[in-house]
Structure 1
Amino acid sequence: MSEKDFDDLIESANPVMAVVTTVAEGVRAGCVVGFHGQSSVEPRHYCVWLSKANHTYRTALRAEHLAVHLLTRDDMEIATHFGTTTGEDGDKFTTLSVSDGPGGVPLLEALPNRFVGRRRAMLDLGGDHACVELVVDLAQRAGAFDALRLRDVVHLRPGHEAEERAVSPER
């Protein structure tokens, strides 16, 4: 397999970026994700892949709900905020306007194109990310938008590198 060919294919797909938020035991968490997609038409299911190095991943292990906020090209500042800082250093939400969604999941007022799902399953195949499957309970849309994509944020340095994952892969 050519790693470059795979990387080029993914770059061509240029996925939409999202901020995933969650809460467990009163602890809020959120991060930028590029690995996500619908996984069932009926019932509506959606999967997000969270880096095992992230505070958001560790919080999602105990959470009941997650919110997926789709980013627009106007949301680069929020993408930078959630993509380059870590929840271990403090609450990422303190400077933002936030409301509580189902199960207390943080909803970012500045990001109105979003949906909330109940955690149905978590799948860890030993890589640097784990998949969280959601049953979509609520969707809100502010209208058509120009999506922020992977190509737009590739320059951001993550708050954690993949090698820092909380759980090492089994080989």
Structure 2
Amino acid sequence: MSDHESDGADAFDNIVSMLDYPMFVVTTVADGHRAGCLVGFTSQTSIHPPRFLVGLSKKNHTFAVAQDAEHLAVHLLPRSELVLAELFGGTTGHDTDKFAECAWHDGPGGVPILDAAPAWFVGRIVDRFALGDHVGHLLEPAAGSAPDGLGELITFADVRDVEPGHEA
């Protein structure tokens, strides 16, 4: 190996540590239980039909609630809402009612919608599948709100130092 070569896992870790992914807050509800968390493992997966993938850690309270949910809401937050991102990323729903600490309203299917999010959509969960220590939730968009522009969004660099409510 040359000076810059390493095994695949090390190279992968080094590459992804250089990326600055957008971060999302995902919320859900099932059997009267609300949950939400900060997520970075997301991606649009299809144009026709529209599909979006959300990866939830198996250790996360939101994952547990999402297993019985029909929908997830995916929120984009402006950088001015970093405190809200820290709430959903740095605390666990096992210990804290995050929704008691922020403004929200019931959205489609009763899913909590964060008032501070200028852009969001609710997706119907059409499939779930294992992705290592996360489970993928494939969403079919059902409703949403999107402004003409968003400005500066919260990215991984903004929340890199937030201690997660749970390990991955």
CA RMSD of aligned residues (A): 1.3
Structure 1 spans left out of the alignment, 5+ residues: 163-171
- Whether 1:135 and 2:135 are equivalent positions in the alignment is no
Cα distance in structure 1, aligned partners of 2:64 and 2:155: 25
After superposition, what is the alpha-carbon deviation per residue over 1:124-155, rounded to whole angstroms, capped at 9, x for unaligned? 14x21110000001231232321211122111
Aligned to 1:13: 19
**1:49 deviation in Å?**
0.2
Q: Which residue of structure 2 lines up, in the alignment, with residue 167 of structure 1?
A: none
| Residue of structure 2 aligned with 1:80, choices 86, 104, 114 | 86
Q: Is contact 2:77–2:116 with CA below 8 Å preserved after alignment?
A: no
Shift of 1:98: 1.1
Relative to the length of structure 1, the TM-score reads: 0.89
Task: State the 1:42 CA deviation.
Answer: 1.2
TM-score (norm 2): 0.91
**Which runs of 4 or more aligned residues in structure 1 lie more than 6 Å from their structure 2 counterparts after TM superposition?**
none
The answer to whether the Cα contact below 8 Å between 1:11 and 1:151 also exists between their aligned partners in 2 is no
Which is further off, 75-84 or 9-18? 9-18
Q: Kindly indicate whether the alpha-carbon contact (under 8 Å) linking 1:67 and 1:106 is maintained by their aligned counterparts in 2.
A: yes
Structure 2 unaligned residues grouped into runs of 5+? 1-6
Equivalence map 1:83-122=2 (5 Å): 83-122=89-128
1:17-65 Cα offsets, whole Å, 9 max, x none, are 0000000000000000000010110111100000111000010000011
Structure 2 residue 42 is matched with structure 1 residue 39: no
Aligned equivalents of 1:37, 1:138: Cα separation in 2: 18
Residue 149 of structure 1 is matched in structure 2 by 155
Larger radius of gyration: 2
Look up the SS of the partner of 2:15 in the other structure. helix
Alignment partners' CA distance in 2, 1:76 and 1:12? 21
Question: Identity of paired residues, percent?
Answer: 47
Does the Cα contact within 8 Å between 1:18 and 1:32 map onto a contact in 2? yes
Counterpart-to-counterpart distance in 2, 1:98 and 1:12: 33
